[in-house]
């Protein structure tokens, strides 16, 4: 697929994550997530990610571009997500220094697998821990960050109030996703 | 893509139709705030709200006879088909009972385009309409469709529209040509054109059975 149809192997994603506690353990939970392709949307829903579609853009490096050939102190990067043409998230970071690790994930990821019954059929509502392996992280750069969250009719981002931005980050990672381990079945 | 497998239709048997449908799908009530993801305190962010869902649809459709052998390649083995099919591009206005305010608050959340290929299938002695392929251009229409079992993917979809103040394209009439297409990734999934001949009182779908 990587050469037969590159469209099917590339996508953009934007998300808001929260550090949450469940049964005394710390987890990462994504209440909001957007992608720009149907494949990661459906695959995400199978794992419990509440993905919607958005137009997503971010700064990219190219090895031959002066000033934007790679991360270095003072480089500014930005990105945004638009759903149905309206801006929901905008981020700007200014890189300052290379650090040893990124702040996320805050321990394992938990998400809700939710597939309601419609008149008949099985109603699925369960809390699952996403099972991943083979994490690899390249250079992690830290700096200042700016975040704008815009609420809209169908995106309650306005309920999130930012007290402080601890930092802005740029990094690459890769991993293998294996599925979900169900922690709890939820009764409505 | 398997579309090439069912592309061998008998054009002499193609019957073209243009119509408007209004459909109400009634389903059981569910908990309003967590019908779908993401669950929040008041549920306003969920991608699909609870039924009932209302649909107002404008179609360009074609009644097609695919070859039986080609149609059998895109359905599960426990269904059978003689190859009779229904292909359409359609413009939907649709909302949940909970969201009539979306009509003016955000038209993007109530309007979408759809393209689909349907087959008349037989299951345990009864005929049904089954869609092996369906595309839409909005995420909420995609997820809502998956809840019902429609195998929706995202595509760019376009169709001819009429406007009552245009000199030629103001209403369906004999000789009017209309067209549409669905494009996904780097390929055209299907393209269709119809030329209207006469007003009819019934759709071929009435013989397909429930969907």
Q: What is the pLDDT along chain B (211 residues), one digit of tens a residue?
A: 345 555 444 433 344 444 444 444 433 334 478 899 999 999 999 999 999 999 999 999 999 999 999 999 999 999 999 999 999 999 999 999 999 999 999 999 999 999 999 999 999 999 999 999 999 999 999 999 999 999 999 999 999 999 999 999 999 999 999 999 999 988 999 999 999 999 999 888 887 888 7
**Which chain B residues touch A if contact means CB-CB below 8 Å?**
27-28, 30-31, 34-40, 42, 44-45, 47, 50-51, 102, 105-106, 108-109, 138-140, 142-143, 146-148, 152-154, 185-186
Specify the CATH architecture of the domain A6-59+75-111+140-173.
Beta Barrel (2.40)
Structure tokens of A166? 């601890």
For residue A148, the 8-state DSSP code is: E
Question: Looking at CA atoms only, how far is residue B54 from chain A in angstroms?
Answer: 15
Across the strands, what pairs with A20?
A27
CATH of domain B3-207: 2.40.400.10
Contact check, Cβ <8 Å, B37/A153: no
Q: Is the pTM here over 0.90, yes or no?
A: no
Nearest by CB to residue A50, choosing from B37, B51, B186, is: B37
A188 contacts in chain B (CB < 8 Å): 30-31, 34
Domain ranges of chain B: 3-207
- Size of chain A, expressed as the number of residues it contains: 188
**Which residues, in sequence order, are CB contacts of B14 under 8 Å at separation 6+?**
B62, B63, B64, B65
Gap between the Cα atoms of A33 and A17, Å rounded: 9
Contact check, Cβ <8 Å, A112/B39: yes
Structure tokens of A181? 């381990």
Q: Is the pLDDT of residue A56 over 50?
A: yes
Percent of chain A at pLDDT exceeding 70? 99
Q: Which residue has the tokens 């569910």?
A: B30
Contact check, Cβ <8 Å, A154/B45: yes
Name the nearest CA neighbour of A17 among A77, A107, A150, A132.
A107
Nearest by CB to residue B36, choosing from A37, A84, A114, is: A114
């Amino acid at each position: 697929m990587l050469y037969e149809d590159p469209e099917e192997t590339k996508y953009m994603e934007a998300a808001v994550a929260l550090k949450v506690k469940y049964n005394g353990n710390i987890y990462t939970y994504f209440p909001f997530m957007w992608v720009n392709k149907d494949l990661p949307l459906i695959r995400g829903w199978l794992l419990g990610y509440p993905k919607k579609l958005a137009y997503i853009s971010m700064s990219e490096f190219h090895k031959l571009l002066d000033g934007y050939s790679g991360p270095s102190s003072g480089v500014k990067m930005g990105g945004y997500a638009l759903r149905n043409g309206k801006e929901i998230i905008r981020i700007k970071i200014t890189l300052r220094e290379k650090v040893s690790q990124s702040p996320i994930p805050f321990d394992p990821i938990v998400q809700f697998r939710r597939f309601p019954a419609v008149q008949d059929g099985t109603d699925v509502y369960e809390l699952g821990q996403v099972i991943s392996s083979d994490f690899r992280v390249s250079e992690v750069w830290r700096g200042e960050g700016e975040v704008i969250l815009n609420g809209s009719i169908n995106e309650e981002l306005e309920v999130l109030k930012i007290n402080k931005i601890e930092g802005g980050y740029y990094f690459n990672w890769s991993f293998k996703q294996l599925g979900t381990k169900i922690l709890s079945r939820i009764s409505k | 893509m398997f579309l090439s497998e069912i592309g061998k239709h008998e054009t002499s048997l193609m019957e073209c139709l243009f119509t408007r449908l209004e459909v109400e799908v009634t389903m059981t009530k569910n908990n309003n705030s967590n019908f779908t993801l993401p669950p929040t305190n008041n549920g306003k962010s969920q991608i699909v709200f609870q039924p009932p869902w209302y649909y107002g649809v404008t179609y360009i459709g074609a009644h097609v006879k695919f070859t039986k052998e080609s149609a059998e390649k895109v359905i599960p083995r426990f269904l059978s088909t003689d190859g009779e099919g229904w292909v359409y591009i359609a413009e939907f206005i649709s909302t949940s009972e909970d969201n009539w305010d979306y009509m003016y608050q955000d038209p993007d959340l109530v309007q979408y385009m759809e393209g689909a290929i349907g087959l008349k299938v037989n299951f345990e002695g009864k005929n049904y309409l089954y869609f092996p392929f369906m595309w839409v251009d909005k995420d909420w229409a995609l997820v809502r469709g998956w809840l019902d079992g429609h195998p929706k993917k995202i595509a760019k979809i376009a169709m001819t529209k009429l406007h009552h103040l245009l000199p030629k394209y103001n209403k369906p009439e004999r000789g009017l040509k209309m067209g549409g297409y669905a494009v996904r990734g780097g390929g055209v999934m299907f393209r269709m054109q119809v030329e209207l001949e006469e007003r009819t009182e019934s759709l071929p779908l009435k013989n397909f059975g429930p969907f």
